[in-house]
Structure formats: C-alpha cells, structure tokens
Amino acid sequence: MENNIMLQGEVTDKYSLRGRVFNALRENILSAKYSQNEELKETAVAAELGVSRTPVREALRQLELEGLVKIIPNKGAYVIGITDKDIEDIYLMRSLLEGLCARFATNNITQEQIEQLEEITYLTDFHVKKGNLEQLYELDNRFHGLLYEISGSRMLAHVLSDFHHYVERVRKVSLAQKVRSQEFNEEHKAILQAMREHDAAKAEKLANMHIVNTIHNINRNGLEIIKDSTVIENDNTSK
C-alpha cells in the first residue's frame, strides 16, 4: 500500500511509530487529503497506514492538542484542518518572527554561511527560469531553514518550521504563480545583501516585507484560489 508507513523502515520503538503515524496524519490533513469535518475512523486509518489502532489513537490525541482535529466522546475524531483565519494569523506572525530571525542571523552569520545562502539564490534563479516548482519550493525551504539555524534561536526555528508545515499548500500555490516566483528570490537576495553588510535592522525590515508581500499576493488572488491544489497540478502539466 502506497501510504503504508511500515514500508518506510522497520520500527522498533513505539514512540517512533507514534511519531510516524502523527506525521503521516498531519501531512494528510495539511495537504487536504482529508477534508474539513471528515471523520477519521481509527480502524480505517490504521488499515491505510498499516499499523494497529493504538498509535493511531495516540496520534489523534496529539493532533487534537495542535488544533487539527476535534475528538468528540462516543462519536469520533473529525478534521478541523487549517482555516482561512489560521492562514491569515500564521502569515501575520511569520512577518514579525521572520524579521526577528533575520536580525539575529545578521549578528551571527559567517562568510561560509553567506556563501551557502548565495548558492541557494543562484540555484533559485536557474529554477525560476525553468519554472521548476518543486525545486523552487525546496530551495525556499533551504533558504529560510538556514536563516533559522544561523539565528541561533532554537525556539524561533521550532515555531517558524511548524508554520511552514501548516501553510505548505498556500506557499506552493503562491510560488506556482510566475510573478511571485520571480519576486521572492529578489527579496531573498535583498535580505542576504543586508546581512552581508551586517545591517541587522535592514535585514529585519526586508524579511518582514518578504512575508508581507506574500500576504499581498494571497489577498490579490484570494484564499480560495491560493488554496486550490489544481493550480499546482495545472502549472506542472503545462511545463
């Protein structure tokens, strides 16, 4: 079975198994494989993932703590997912925290790390021209992930990484739009230049505006269009 997580490697630790089930379910919720208000039946999910009901039950409880499902006693677990308001709130918080992260990173960055970020922007230019969406998405993750690491703040890195997971579909569809895919790397380059100049205040402002510009792109196109996965499918099939 394609989604059978037991095929991804032998599991010897029950906590590792629970973590895999949790990650699989969260991915299915955030990618909209499971729709809002859909009931997640333990037996069906266990069969789909090739596990017993126990790790599924534990994962559902953890997902409830994250606000992604609601467990109704004597009824079952139902998908809440990510709402439009959640997306708006996440991007507002990201605009502030990404700026703070860039400020911290500017104060810590080494020449080697500058060169690593430069390489990412060079590769991004290449894939923007080619229209390679998956590579653009991966490079965007690498750029921001490296900034989180350089910032030296474990808490910032944890929160921002979670935010990336929650808005994965929105980010992918936003990047699938040609205008935005051209803009975002220029914004990355501007942030990097400020960091190269050791101008922490400027890096913070530019990183903040980088996320604000994504918010503007979402508002320009509407959340329903941005969240529509067929935009990604159409973009990929047109290449």
- Give the strands of the sheet with 69-72, arranged side by side: 39-40, 76-79, 69-72
- The answer on pLDDT for 146 being more than 70 is yes
pLDDT tens, 181-195? 789 999 999 999 999
Domains of the chain with bracketed CATH: 5-79 (1.10.10.10), 84-237 (1.20.120.530)
Return d(Cα 101, Cα 152) in angstroms, integer. Answer: 9
With a CB cutoff of 8 Å and minimum separation 6, the contacts of 115 are none
Per DSSP, the residues of 160-212 read HHHHHHHTHHHHHHHHHSHHHHHHHHHHHHHHHHHHHTT-HHHHHHHHHHHHH
Q: What is the CA 21 to chain-centroid distance, rounded? A: 19
pLDDT tens, 20-65? 999 999 989 988 889 889 999 999 999 999 999 999 999 999 999 9
Write phi, then psi, for 2 (nearest 5 degrees): -60, -40
How many contiguous H segments (helices) and E segments (strands) does the chain have? 12, 3
Return d(Cα 214, Cα 217) in angstroms, integer. Answer: 5
| C-beta atoms surrounding 230 within 10 Å | 9
Share of the chain above pLDDT 90, in %: 59
- Note the pTM of the prediction, 2 decimals: 0.77
